[in-house]
Amino acid sequence: MSASLDRIAERFTQLLGQTAVPTRPPMPVSVATPAPAASAASPTPSPPGPIQRTDHALKGYDLNVAVSSRQVVLVAEILDQEGFALDAITGVDWLAQGEMEIVYDYFHPTASLRVVVRARVPRAEPDLPTISSVFPGANWHERETHDFFGIRFQGHPNLAPFLLPEDADFHPLRKDYQP
């Protein structure tokens, strides 16, 4: 299990070394917590950065990865090749920073590993590519995220309202939304 996580972290390191990564880590920055006792079973947490190993028991995931919006498809392809499945996609409205964060949750069905991938886009132009060609189940999650946050997934086959009324011109989970 650890070797698989090491391989994935190495693949992400190679990817992020080839293209620009966000200048800021995802918010909130979770400084890695020290392990209670050094043991071979628990990985050493890494410092904040684009790739963070975490203690699954404390965080609920094993790897936290910050990527640019143009890297989300490449990361999805890597995780698909490694046998991961998509669990969820959601958004976070960082109103004060003028950004939207898209959070992708992946899990490995047999290795008990979880990976969180985060991408930031400007709040005024919340666009990034769809991953529905890699994970067809992303279709539903991207439509829901578009409905509630107004994040546009370029190349998505159908971003029509999914849970909101067809004539909805609002996004209720944006922090500046006024009913």
Give tens-digit pLDDT for 132-161: 999 999 999 999 999 999 999 999 999 988
**Does the pLDDT at position 119 exceed 90?**
yes
**What does the alpha-carbon distance between residue 91 and residue 104 come to, in Å, rounded to a whole number?**
9
How many CB atoms neighbour CB 165 within 10 A?
A: 9
**Does the pLDDT at position 24 exceed 60?**
no
**What does the alpha-carbon distance between residue 33 and residue 25 come to, in Å, rounded to a whole number?**
16
**Does the pLDDT at position 27 exceed 70?**
no
Structural domains of the chain, ranges and CATH numbers in brackets: 2-22+46-154 (3.30.460.80)
**Does the pLDDT at position 36 exceed 50?**
no
- pLDDT of res. 112: 87
Query: Taking the model in full, what pTM does it have?
Result: 0.81
**What does the alpha-carbon distance between residue 117 and residue 120 come to, in Å, rounded to a whole number?**
10
DSSP label of 118: E
**Does the pLDDT at position 31 exceed 50?**
no
How many CB atoms neighbour CB 105 within 10 A?
A: 16
DSSP label of 96: G
- pLDDT of res. 15: 85
Query: For residues 153 and 24, which has the higher predicted lDDT (pLDDT)?
Result: 153
The crossing angle, in degrees rounded to 10, of helices 72-81 and 2-18 is 150
**Does the pLDDT at position 37 exceed 60?**
no
